[in-house]
């Protein structure tokens, strides 16, 4: 499996307060991409440490001893775990620019609901597309499309999930866009054919530098997945 060696990459953005920010991540992770987009939206300078998930680093195990997973944001030596929690933390800590959460309490609650929906529905169902075969895979594909159509219905005619502004709920889902080609190729179906407005939304998000510079090329993701699948004999 092609897993990059641990490396340090420092962005060329200002953190505005001189605080130390480190991100433990793995490049194909749609969850890690969420954090990278949020940091880019805020213009936060940080040190990126790529993790070898087959040989987890002592730092990762120390910073996330419960789940032992990426991403982990380390801010002034203190770890924050779980991607959606990290994005909220970033928004609350660097609240002087580019707000990610809606200001209205009700709309903010709705944004959290949809981010949670992505984690519980989109992610879990997408896994079935590449782990199941035959009729069970067909059933998983239909379930996946229905879930995406629910998300598409929430967007409606709005430019972004919660209205006119790109934010938290958009970040929660848009990182899956880089994996859509893999899902489609493995499942032999077209998401754009089934959910054209959702793909239009994703392309709109890709016009933002924070998103376009974060999401890897879809075919690079596919090549990674095939190599991983072969290595693990899935």
Q: What is the pTM of this model?
A: 0.91
Tell me the per-residue pLDDT of 150-204, one tens digit each, with 9 for 90 and over. 999 999 999 999 999 999 999 999 999 999 999 999 999 999 999 999 999 999 9
CA 128 from chain centre, in angstroms, equals 18
- Count how many residues are written for the chain: 234
- Residues 224, 228, 230, 231: what is their CA dihedral angle, to the nearest 10 degrees? 130
Q: Could you write out the DSSP letters of every residue in 2-50?
A: --PPP-EEE-S---SS---EEEEE-TT-HHHHHHHHHHHHHT---EEEE
pLDDT of 127 over the 80 cut: yes
Region of poorest pLDDT, from 151-155, 184-188, 211-215, 229-233: 229-233
Mean pLDDT calculated for residue range 202-230: 96
pLDDT bracket for residue 49 (50, 70, 90): very high
DSSP string, 174-227: HTTHHHHHHHHHHHT--HHHH-HHHHHHHHHHTTSHHHHTTSPPHHHHHHHHHH
Q: What is the pLDDT of residue 22?
A: 98
Q: What pLDDT shows up at residue 2?
A: 34
Query: Is the predicted pLDDT of residue 209 greater than 80, yes or no?
Result: yes
Side-chain half-sphere exposure of 134, counting CA atoms within 13 A: 1
Instruction: Look up tokens 């984690």; give the residue.
Output: 119
Instruction: Provide the pLDDT for residue 229.
Output: 82
Residue 189 contacts residue 141 (beta carbons within 8 Å): yes
Please check whether residue 184 is in contact with residue 218, taking contact to mean a CB–CB distance below 8 angstroms.
no
pLDDT single digits (tens) 53-112: 999 999 999 999 999 999 999 999 999 999 999 999 999 999 999 999 999 999 999 999
How many C-beta neighbours within 10 Å does residue 87 have? 27
Under the banding of pLDDT at 50, 70 and 90, the label for residue 6 is very low
């Amino acid at each position: 499996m092609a897993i990059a060696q641990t490396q340090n990459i420092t962005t060329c953005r200002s953190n505005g307060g001189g605080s130390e920010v480190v991100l433990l991540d793995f490049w194909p992770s749609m969850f890690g991409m969420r954090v990278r987009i949020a940091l880019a939206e805020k213009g936060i300078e940080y040190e990126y440490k790529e993790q070898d998930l087959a040989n987890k680093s002592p730092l990762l195990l120390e910073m996330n001893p419960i789940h032992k997973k990426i991403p982990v944001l380390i801010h002034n030596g203190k770890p924050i775990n779980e991607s959606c929690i990290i994005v909220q933390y970033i928004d609350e800590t660097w609240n002087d620019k580019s707000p990610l959460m809606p200001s209205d309490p009700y709309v903010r609650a709705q944004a959290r609901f949809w981010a949670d929906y992505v984690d519980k529905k989109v992610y879990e169902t997408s896994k079935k597309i590449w782990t199941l075969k035959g009729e069970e895979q067909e059933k998983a594909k239909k379930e996946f499309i229905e879930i995406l159509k629910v998300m598409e219905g929430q967007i409606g005619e709005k430019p972004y999930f919660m209205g006119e502004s790109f934010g938290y709920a958009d970040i929660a889902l848009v990182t899956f866009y880089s994996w859509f080609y893999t899902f489609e190729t493995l499942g032999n179906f077209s998401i754009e054919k089934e959910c054209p407005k959702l793909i239009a939304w994703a392309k709109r998000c890709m016009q933002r530098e924070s998103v376009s510079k974060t999401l890897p090329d879809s075919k690079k993701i596919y090549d990674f997945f095939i190599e991983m699948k072969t290595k693990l004999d899935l």
